[in-house]
Amino acid sequence: MAISLTSLRRPSLQAVLLAAGILVAGVAGCTEEKGATAPPPAPGKVVGTVDLGSHVPLWMTHGSLSVVALMKGPTSPDWLPVARVLFIHPTFPVPFEISQKDVRLTGITLQGRVRLVARLSLESGSSLVASGEFSGSAPVAGTVGGTPVKIVIDKKLPSTVGSP
C-alpha cells in the first residue's frame, strides 16, 4: 500500500482546538488555584491538623498524641485545660476535631476562643529507644466554629526522669 504525500493532510483547526481544550481542562483539574479559600468552619467544634517538625525523631510516632483545648472562663484569669482528644501511634499529619463530647470538666460549654496545645509522648522502657516528649501549640488562639488550625510539634520538652 503506497501513501502519497498528498494523502497526508494537516489536522483541521477544529481537531487542534479540541485537543488543546482537553489538555487545558486536564491541567486545570490537576492543579490547585492560588488564593483558594480555607475549608468552611465547623460549628460547635475546633478542627485542624497536627504535623511533626523536621527534627522530631520518627520513633516518637509509636507513642501517643494528645491535643488539648484550653479556655478562659468568666471567673478564671488563666487558660485552663477543658477538653482533650487522644491518638495512639499517630500517622502524621493528624487531623483532629474537638467538640463538646471531649470536654472533661462538668458544667463547661466549649465556645469562644480556645488555645490549642499538642503533646507527643513516648514511654519506651527500652535502652535502645529514648523516651521523651515534644510539644507544639497553635500560633494564634482558635475559635470554636472557626477556621481550621495548624499545629506543628517542634519543641522538645525537658525530661522528667528521676523527678519526684
Of the chain, the end-to-end C-alpha distance in Å amounts to 94
Predicted pLDDT of residue 146: 86
pTM: 0.67
What are the percentages of helix, strand and coil residues in the chain, rounded to 5? Answer: 20, 35, 50
pLDDT tens profile 38-47? 455 556 789 9
Are the beta carbons of 46 and 95 closer than 8 angstroms?
Answer: no
- Provide the pairing of β-strand 46-52 with 149-153: parallel
Question: Band of the pLDDT at 70, cuts 50, 70, 90?
Answer: very high
DSSP character at residue 60? G
Alpha-carbon radius of gyration of the chain = 26
In the predicted structure, residue 151 carries a pLDDT above the cut 90: yes
Distance in angstroms (rounded) separating the CA atoms of residues 19 and 57: 49
